[in-house]
Amino acid sequence: MTSRLIPVPPFVLTVFGATGDLSRRKLIPALFHRDADGQIPEEALIIGVSRRAMTDAEFRAFAHQALTDHIPAAELKEPELERFLGRLSYVAADADAEPGWSELATRVANAGDMIPVYYLATAPHLFGPICERLGKYGLAEKGRVVIEKPIGKDLSSAVALNEQVGRIFPEERVYRIDHYLGKETVQNLMALRFANALFEPLWNNAHIDHVQITVAEALGVEERAGYYDTAGAMRDMVQNHMLQLLCLVAMEPPASLDADAVRDEKLKVLRALKPIADHNMAQLTVRGQYRAGASAGGAVPGYLEELGSTRSETETFVAVKAELENWRWAGVPFYLRTGKRLASRVSEIVIGFRHVPHSVFGDAVGAIEPNRLVIRLQPDEGVKLWLMIKDPGPGGIRLTHVPLDMSFAKAFKVRNPDAYERLILDVVRGNQTLFMRRDEVEAAWKWVDPILQAWRGAKEPPRPYTAGTWGPSASIALIERDGRTWLEDGA
């Protein structure tokens, strides 16, 4: 075991939806990695649950395949693989029927004092029924429950869902995952802000001109089109991941990293968001939908073709000019944009500082560009600080804009763990700092709901954009109207 790893107490993790996509792509590989690093205690058990009839051996074979598909062969070594697969067992059970539940209850009871964790990797309409049965079979008493977005499709459905879960599990044992909060660089945002004395004095409207948050994906919706068409980019990305990023950039320094200290500060940010509704929606938001185009050098279909439909008003792109109504941030726009099938996969936060108040250099030296801090979330995680320096050489002063550039992969030669590796073990540790509290989720919907309503009311279809571009031209106009420009790829 590496000494830097914090061990976790023994646990019995039940994964509902164990044969589904999330379990296969993320949960099983994440658990394997933590186990292979020696962080999972010897006794810990993992129980897969889904409706499909399967033996323990068949579930182990399923998990083995998931690991082979998602982890490089060189990392899948014995004896780690055998140890991991040996922890797995399987129970077939349906959220809406009794068979299987007593068996599950017996297996969890046999685990004795180990911490029971229930991961609901299922469709959200099953969260309520599963929680009810967990309650009925006496499984909820000490257990922790993990749920994922979408938590509702608007405020009222989110409240209803939170209430269903809350009837069985008290809030301190509900873990709402936003996997962006588990990303390495997102954590680094907190380190950057609160472990350096340098930035915090400048972190306000006196020194910051604007903030940009881009989460761009090159992929389309592909086989998720069915779900995606009921959600769209606003519900899928902005209501959760993008607003969480905004919170981490904009929150006041919490007194500690204690879960409620952090979540109280994030909540204040969400509550300070200036409302966007019918009257200002057209000036402050842009929605788009991709048409056929090119991505990674090949032709790709449009959204409607992927959906297999001739008509859909679902947005695959959103840009929003958000503002915070508080003393620290009044007058500083937060430009958010996210979309599928954009020019490249890049997620980054750009903190644009103000111009120098006066240039002592005269006109001949080239423009003085404002400083920028770019926090790159993915790919190639890192931080760039753009500064003006003198171009080297004789012949007087010429100025040039250069980055202090730190790529984490080059600086630290370690594997970048997936967000789920950290988050699952945080549940076992009982650390809720990186999970969303009920009031945060509901506050985010309070801001998003009127935007969705205004879009519906306007009856305008999303603006088309060609796959492989940076979205509809209106999103460029959204920022350029303010004399600013979107910055791409760490520029």
What are the catalytic residues?
Answer: 241
Beta strands at 115-120 and 293-295: parallel, antiparallel or unpaired: unpaired
Q: Which residues contact 155 (CB under 8 A, 6 or more apart)?
A: 442, 445, 446, 449
With respect to ligand BG6, which residue has the nearer C-beta, 150 or 450?
Answer: 150
With respect to ligand BG6, which residue has the nearer C-beta, 11 or 435?
Answer: 435
Distance of closest approach, residue 123 Cβ to ligand BG6, in angstroms: 13
Among 209, 236, 323, 421, binds ligand BG6 (CB under 6 A): 236
Distance of closest approach, residue 402 Cβ to ligand BG6, in angstroms: 29
Distance of closest approach, residue 213 Cβ to ligand BG6, in angstroms: 13
Among 35, 217, 306, 426, binds ligand BG6 (CB under 6 A): 217
Distance of closest approach, residue 407 Cβ to ligand BG6, in angstroms: 18
Four-CA torsion 101, 105, 107, 111, nearest 10 degrees: 160
In angstroms, the CA 268 to CA 271 distance is 5
Distance of closest approach, residue 338 Cβ to ligand BG6, in angstroms: 9
Distance of closest approach, residue 150 Cβ to ligand BG6, in angstroms: 8
- Number of amino acids touching ligand BG6 (CB under 6 A): 2
With respect to ligand BG6, which residue has the nearer C-beta, 325 or 489?
Answer: 489
Binding of ligand BG6 at residue 323 (CB under 6 A)? no
With respect to ligand BG6, which residue has the nearer C-beta, 236 or 306?
Answer: 236
Q: Which residues contact 346 (CB under 8 A, 6 or more apart)?
A: 214, 216, 376, 378, 379, 488, 489
In angstroms, the CA 256 to CA 133 distance is 37
With respect to ligand BG6, which residue has the nearer C-beta, 91 or 424?
Answer: 424
Q: What are the angstrom distances between the C-alpha of 333 and each of 127, 200, 209, 240, 381? A: 37, 18, 8, 19, 25
With respect to ligand BG6, which residue has the nearer C-beta, 323 or 426?
Answer: 426
**Token digits for 356?**
């120098």
Distance of closest approach, residue 215 Cβ to ligand BG6, in angstroms: 7
Q: What does the buried/exposed string (b/e) look like for 162-180 if buried means 16 or more CB atoms within 10 Å of the residue's CB?
A: bebbeebbeeebbbbbbbb
Cβ-closest residue to ligand BG6?
Answer: 236
With respect to ligand BG6, which residue has the nearer C-beta, 217 or 440?
Answer: 217
Interaction pattern, residues 168-207, with ligand BG6; x per rule: CB under 6 A: ----------------------------------------
Q: Which residues contact 79 (CB under 8 A, 6 or more apart)?
A: none
Residues within the interface to ligand BG6 (CB under 6 A): 217, 236
